[in-house]
Amino acid sequence: MSSSDVRQGDKAAVVAQGQRTPKKERQKQFLRLLTPVDSKQTAIYGVLGAAAFFLLWEVGHYLTPEESRRFLPSPQHVVGTLIRLIEEKNFLADVGISLYRVIFSFFVATVIAVPLGVFMGCFSNMRALINPILSGWRYLPAASFIPLLLVWFGPTDTQKLALLFLGVIFFLVALILDNTEAVEKSLVEAALTMGANRWQIVMGVVARAASPAIVDSLRNMIAVSWTYLVIAEIVAAQDGIGAVMMRAGRFLKVDIIMAGILAIGILGVLTDIAFRLLAYWMFPWNRKRRG
């Protein structure tokens, strides 16, 4: 058979294949780009993902040799421990103290970061003055402040609040500066041509326009604040979720440690939801229209 015969044969095969599937349909793919899922699907996927996680955990628990199983307690055991802590060990008081520490320190950070970020975002010379000295701090891990804060404040509540504050403030300023600078310049120019003064523009235009993005930044940064909580409550703390976890660690009570982790996770999700609701309620004009 000559090479030209082979080529002809190939062509015939291609044509034949084309005839076998005359009607072409768009392929149904599991992973499809640019395809949104509706809220029902989102819920189903979410439950599936969580179920898979707990199943893996459960399997891990039973695969662990009998004698060391208490180092990987089952999910229902951890949930049970959490409930027992609440009922018998007044755990909600510790939760309350941790919640207060995160929220109060974050509130103080917000009250400072929002005006500062907006101010720097509006006036480039103020940005040039303040930002260089401020941005370097972001590269220092918050934990490195612990010795200093202990010397300054002792093993007090103030020391914990200060650590949580330092953990987020520099990032918060940087994010809010970005949010402010992202405001369309044409909005400011429109206000200028209408005769608005600087104050009216900073408060009434730039801050207003940036506010949904700012609330988003706050929502993301409060998650970071939760991640610092255990660090803040590990050293010289008598109360709070982190302190409970530390004490449990000394007696190798893994179930209590995991119950603490679970509690922080739940609280973190709740603060996230709170910020989402806040944004929904504060910015009716910014609600995404669902397709």
Partner 1 sequence: MTPQSNAAITAQNVTRKYLGGSFTAVDDVSLDFPEAQVTAFVGPSGCGKTTMLRMIAGLEDPTQGSISVYGEPVLGPGPDRGMIFQAYTSFPWLTALQNVEYGMKIIGIGKAERREKAERLLQEVHLGHAADSYPSQLSGGMKQRVAIARTLAQNPTVLLMDEPFGALDAQVRWEMQEMMIEIIEVEKKTVIMVTHDIQEAIYLADRIVFFTRNPGRIKQDIILDFKGGKRFPQKEALLAEPGYIDVERQLFAWMREEIQSG
Q: Name which of 38 and 184 has its Cβ closer to partner 1.
A: 184
- Residues 6+ away with beta carbon under 8 Å from 205: 183, 187, 188, 191, 196
Please, what is the Cα angle at 176 between 261 and 287, to 5 degrees? 80
Q: Name which of 111 and 190 has its Cβ closer to partner 1.
A: 190
Give the nearest distance from C-beta 143 to partner 1 in angstroms.
40
Give the nearest distance from C-beta 195 to partner 1 in angstroms.
4
Q: How far is CA 201 from the centre of its chain?
A: 31
Helix (H, G, I), strand (E, B) or coil at 7: helix
Closest to 109 measured CA to CA, from 181, 173, 45, 49:
173
Distance CA(87)–CA(93), nearest Å, equals 11
Give the nearest distance from C-beta 192 to partner 1 in angstroms.
4
Contact 147, 208 (CB under 8 A): no
Beta-carbon count within 10 A of 118 CB: 22
Number of residues located near partner 1, criterion CB under 8 A? 21
Give the nearest distance from C-beta 160 to partner 1 in angstroms.
37
Cα of first residue to Cα of last residue in the chain, in angstroms, is 60
Distance CA(276)–CA(180), nearest Å, equals 20
Q: Name which of 53 and 283 has its Cβ closer to partner 1.
A: 283
Q: Which tokens sit at 153?
A: 């404040």
Q: Which tokens sit at 71?
A: 């180092």
Give the nearest distance from C-beta 154 to partner 1 in angstroms.
46
Distance CA(21)–CA(18), nearest Å, equals 6
Binding mask 126-155 for partner 1 (x = CB under 8 A): ------------------------------
Q: Name which of 70 and 198 has its Cβ closer to partner 1.
A: 198
Q: Which of 30, 251, 281, 285 binds partner 1 (CB under 8 A)?
A: 285
Asked whether position 118 contacts partner 1 by CB under 8 A, the answer is no
Q: Name which of 230 and 279 has its Cβ closer to partner 1.
A: 279
- Within residues 180-209, the interface with partner 1 by CB under 8 A covers 184, 186-187, 189-196, 200, 205, 208-209
Q: Name which of 71 and 283 has its Cβ closer to partner 1.
A: 283
Give the nearest distance from C-beta 112 to partner 1 in angstroms.
24
Q: Which of 24, 28, 40, 289 binds partner 1 (CB under 8 A)?
A: 289
Give the nearest distance from C-beta 204 to partner 1 in angstroms.
9
Closest to 167 measured CA to CA, from 235, 211, 108:
108
Q: Name which of 35 and 193 has its Cβ closer to partner 1.
A: 193
Give the nearest distance from C-beta 25 to partner 1 in angstroms.
33
Contact 225, 167 (CB under 8 A): yes
Which residues sit at the interface with partner 1, rule CB under 8 A? 184, 186-187, 189-196, 200, 205, 208-209, 211, 283-286, 289
